[in-house]
């Protein structure tokens, strides 16, 4: 490779978390990342409460003494690579796979076509069934998973973000631990005047699992929903947002037997813990609404 070709490569920091509980999936995930062509990668594995038991050659690692949760683990990984001046940062679940060695280059090409995008999310599909779950499509109308377009939220597990924008808004809300951290981050990126872009024709793989398998699911989704509202919405929209999600959650979870747990999490959120309050501008509210998702849904 010539010096000019090396200099022309796009630079990507990659953050992967592990708890040493998915050996085969983790190795496949790392192999798919390290096989990417035409990009200059720096990769860090963050052991969230564990010392990583698999670290490929040339990959950095960080060991956290306790499990800090997914968003804070991602922040730690991004900070560990922060001095290299990369153009992008990829947040990547340790059971995901980039099925083609040109996947990252294709995602970067989406940024070139949409220069106002702060983040690009590919289409996530189950590697066995090919199914794309509705919650992986970051818009209200999720029926056509292959349709590309502007989006206002993200599926956090596999997303490429402009490094400068990520740093400008202060990263993920680390204290969320799990669930809805992508809403908080997306809204802050939109408040910079940016957009999100969904690249429906670029496929990546991730097993189609049920988030309710996590024991704290119902409590945390309710608590964090309240925190998102308190942190990011203008005061008049907070009750509208929360009322909307109470109704939607009752409809969604009433047959699960966990509505009591959900409401306990909701009350926990109302009691505080959201930390900063930095509401988006009304201009951002209008931009989100024009993009098809007013920030009360």
Q: Could you tell me the CA-to-CA distances from 201 to 103, 182, 191, 210, 262 in Å, in that order?
A: 11, 21, 27, 24, 36
Q: With a cut of 50, which residues of the chain have pLDDT below it?
A: 1-4, 6
The pLDDT, as a whole number, for residue 4 is: 47
Question: What pTM was estimated for this model as a whole?
Answer: 0.95
| Contact status, residue 190 vs residue 236, Cβ threshold 8 Å | no
The pLDDT, as a whole number, for residue 176 is: 98
Q: Could you tell me the CA-to-CA distances from 176 to 110, 173, 219, 250, 263 in Å, in that order?
A: 29, 6, 12, 22, 17
Cβ neighbourhood burial of 47 (10 Å; 0-12, 13-18, 19+)? buried
> Which is nearest to 151 in space by CA: 181, 122, 180, 192?
122
The pLDDT, as a whole number, for residue 214 is: 65
Domain residue spans of the chain? 3-209, 212-277
Q: Could you tell me the CA-to-CA distances from 225 to 108, 119, 171, 183, 203 in Å, in that order?
A: 31, 22, 18, 9, 29
Q: How many other CB atoms are there within 10 angstroms of residue 236's CB atom?
A: 9
Q: Is 20 left (phi over 0), alpha (psi -120 to 50) or beta?
A: left
Q: Could you tell me the CA-to-CA distances from 71 to 46, 144, 249 in Å, in that order?
A: 12, 29, 23
- Enter the CATH code of domain 3-209: 3.90.550.10
Q: Take residue 185 and report the two structure tokens written for it.
A: 């981050």
The pLDDT, as a whole number, for residue 122 is: 98
The pLDDT, as a whole number, for residue 6 is: 47
Phi then psi for residue 274, to 5 deg, are -75, -15
Q: Is 273 left (phi over 0), alpha (psi -120 to 50) or beta?
A: left
Q: Could you tell me the CA-to-CA distances from 50 to 46, 62, 128 in Å, in that order?
A: 9, 9, 30
């Amino acid at each position: 490779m010539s010096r000019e070709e090396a200099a022309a490569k796009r630079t990507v920091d990659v953050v992967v978390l592990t708890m040493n509980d998915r050996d085969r999936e983790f190795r496949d995930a790392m192999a798919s990342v390290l096989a990417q062509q035409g990009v200059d990668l720096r990769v860090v594995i963050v052991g969230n409460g564990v010392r990583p038991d698999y670290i490929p050659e040339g990959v950095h690692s960080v060991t956290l003494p306790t499990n800090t949760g997914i968003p804070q683990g991602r922040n730690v990984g991004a900070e560990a690579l922060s001095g290299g001046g990369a153009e992008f940062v990829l947040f990547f679940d340790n059971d995901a796979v980039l099925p083609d060695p040109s996947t990252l280059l294709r995602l970067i090409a989406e940024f070139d076509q949409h220069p106002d995008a702060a983040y690009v999310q590919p289409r996530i599909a189950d590697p066995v069934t090919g199914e794309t779950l509705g919650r992986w499509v970051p818009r209200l109308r999720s029926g056509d998973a292959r349709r590309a377009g502007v989006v206002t939220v993200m599926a956090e597990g596999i997303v490429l973000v402009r490094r400068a924008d990520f740093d400008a808004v202060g990263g993920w809300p680390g204290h969320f631990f799990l669930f809805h951290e992508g809403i908080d981050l997306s809204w802050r990126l939109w408040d910079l005047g940016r957009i999100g872009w969904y690249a429906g024709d670029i496929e990546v793989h991730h097993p189609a699992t049920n988030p309710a398998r996590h024991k704290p699911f119902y409590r945390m989704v309710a608590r964090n929903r309240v925190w998102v509202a308190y942190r990011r919405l203008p005061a008049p929209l907070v009750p509208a947002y929360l009322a909307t999600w109470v109704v939607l959650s009752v409809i969604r979870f009433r047959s699960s037997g966990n509505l009591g747990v959900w409401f306990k999490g909701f009350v926990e959120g109302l009691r505080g813990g959201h930390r900063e309050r930095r509401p988006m501008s009304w201009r951002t509210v209008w931009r989100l609404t024009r993009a098809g998702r007013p920030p009360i849904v």
